[in-house]
Amino acid sequence: MKNVSALEPLPSASYRRYLFSLLFLLYLFDYMDRMVIVSLFPYLKADYGITDTQCGLLVSAVYWSILIFSFPVSILVDRWSRKKSIGLMAILWSLATLACAFTRNFTQLFTARTAIGIGEAGYAPGGTAMISTMFPKEQRAKVLGLWNASIPLGSALGIGLGGLVAEHFGWRYALGLVALPGMVIALLFFTVKDYKTITLVKTVVQSRGQVQVKMQFSDMARQFTHNPTLLFNNLAFAANVFVTTSLLTWLPTYFHRFEGLTMSHAGIKGGSVMLLAIIGAPLGGYLADLWMKKRQNARMVFPAISSAMTALLLFIAFGFFRGQVQYMILLGAGVCAVAFVPAAVAVTQDVVHPGMRAISLSINVIIQHLLGSSLGPLFIGVLSDDFGLEKAMVFLPAFALLGSLLFLIGARFYAKDLAAADPINAKQTIVETDNC
């Protein structure tokens, strides 16, 4: 199957739907494998005698691996092959999830969880780069929003099904169940079309007019070191992911402890809160793209608004209510909590050279996991051990509010950094990857 060039006309709508379906399913199983462990905490505590802090570490382990390996893997994605990188990574994370079912102590389980992160390290950068290249630019945030809806759906399914299977058959079976489908989709992904690798060149003005020259390492580095939009966007992303990962990790246990629900029912209830992000992510992308027709920096301002709304709803829910009223407010927070994602991800693609899109997203992934995903579950776990889970959850709104402020600051630089991004020139030399 011949590769698709980033400079040729876009693939047909029907093919784009096929590609999107595979990318969506892989992200779905990615998060099922990643988050199923959350519903297994009570069983692991009983079998292995671990603490809440160690439970948090089992979630953080995946994100630590992702932040370590994301950048080198993203170089392979941008400079080698999108489909091969994604397919191989999906097989690896599925096998690592299956290996978790055969562990015999906390150390072995922690090690297997780190291997999941190695497999998942480059998927978000690779998938984002493919979508950004294969779909129209003006639809970028909307399509990314639909794609990112797989995150809450996969998380909710992993948590809900994991608790259900563990309750009836044992926690090891839950891990095996979520591992196998990802392998099938990974093999199918080797059949998709790849786009041609984009040569890293920049446009310069000389006496004979505009010419393209090869980018030096310093030119590549400047794409990120002299880009305040990316800096504030990535930091804001991390603050918000700190919140969403903590909610995904601890809401089931929260409902289990304070409402007396079985872990399967608590997992479903906690998962349903974040499942509503399946509305928030596509809606956020659609609204950001729509608003961008009138306001150039809408992809930064809209996440600032949605983050502030998340902070307000979480503050009200954890600070003043319990029971059904709290749950209804948390459902609203679930809609808002990931509405920032599609626009913020689109920004990582908007303001950098097209040949460095996966690398740009990988830097975002590193920052969000280093300062957000890897710290959130552990932070709440430590506070829970010291002060109780109920008091620990009250700290989350402050991080959502911080994210809102950072987005607003970054919005001031968006127009300038967008103009500085070097667009693909129709005469640019390209390097073709392998045919299949």
Percent of the chain, pLDDT > 90?
Answer: 24
Q: Specify if 295 maps to a domain.
A: yes
**Is 435 a domain residue?**
no
- 201 or 123: whose pLDDT is higher? 123
The pLDDT of residue 198: 61
CATH code for position 410: 1.20.1250.20
427 CB-contact burial (10 Å; exposed 0-12 / middle 13-18 / buried 19+): exposed
The HSE-up count of residue 376 (CA atoms within 13 Å, CB side) is 30
> Average pLDDT for residues 379-397, to the nearest whole number?
89
Residue 23 lies in domain: 13-216+225-423
Residue whose C-alpha is closest to residue 25's, from 185, 192, 194: 185
Q: Give the separation between CA 105 and CA 434, rounded to whole angstroms.
A: 43
pLDDT of residue 431: 34
Decide if pLDDT at 36 tops 60: yes
Q: Which range, of 62-66, 154-158, 426-430, averages the lowest pLDDT?
A: 426-430
Confidence tier at 48 by pLDDT (50, 70, 90): confident
Of the candidates 158, 152, 162, the residue with the CA atom closest to the CA atom of residue 42: 162
Which band of pLDDT confidence, cut at 50, 70 and 90, is reported for residue 235?
A: very high
CA dihedral 32, 237, 66, 345 (to 10 degrees): 80
Q: Is residue 177 part of a domain?
A: yes
Ranges assigned E (strand) in 207-339: 209-214
pTM beyond 0.85, yes or no: no
Mind listing the pLDDT tens digit for each residue in 194-227?
767 666 555 555 556 555 556 655 666 676 777 8
d(CA 243, CA 264): 23
Residue 1 lies in a domain: no
**Is it the case that residue 174 has pLDDT exceeding 90?**
no
Residue 340 placed within a domain: yes
Q: How many domains is the chain partitioned into structurally? A: 1
pLDDT of residue 214: 65
**75-109, pLDDT tens digit by residue?**
777 777 777 888 888 888 899 889 998 998 999 99
What mean pLDDT is predicted for residues 101-127? 87
Most confident range, picked from 81-95, 182-196, 257-271, 310-324: 310-324
**Per-residue pLDDT tens for 266-315?**
877 887 887 787 888 889 989 998 999 899 999 999 999 999 999 999 99
Is 433 within the bounds of a domain? no
Which of 311, 32, 44 is closest to 185 using CA atoms?
32
Average pLDDT, the chain: 82
**Most confidently predicted of 13-22, 103-112, 157-166, 167-176:** 103-112
Q: 327 falls in which pLDDT band (50, 70, 90)?
A: very high
Domain contains 211:
yes
Pair 93, 182: CB distance under 8 Å: yes
Query: pLDDT class for 435, splitting at 50, 70, 90?
Result: very low
Question: Does the pLDDT of residue 240 top 90, yes or no?
Answer: yes
Residue 381 pLDDT level (bands cut at 50, 70, 90):
confident
- pLDDT score recorded for residue 218: 65
pLDDT digits (tens, 9 = 90+) for 389-427: 888 999 999 999 999 999 999 999 998 888 877 554 333
**What is the model's pLDDT at position 220?**
64
**Which helix (H) or strand (E) covers residue 319, if one does?**
helix 298-320
pLDDT at residue 13 tops 70:
yes
Q: Is residue 125 part of a domain?
A: yes
Under 8 Å CB-to-CB from 317, ≥6 apart: which residues? 326, 329, 330, 333
What pLDDT score does 53 carry? Answer: 84
- Residue 143, pLDDT above cutoff 70: yes
pLDDT (0 to 100) of residue 10: 67
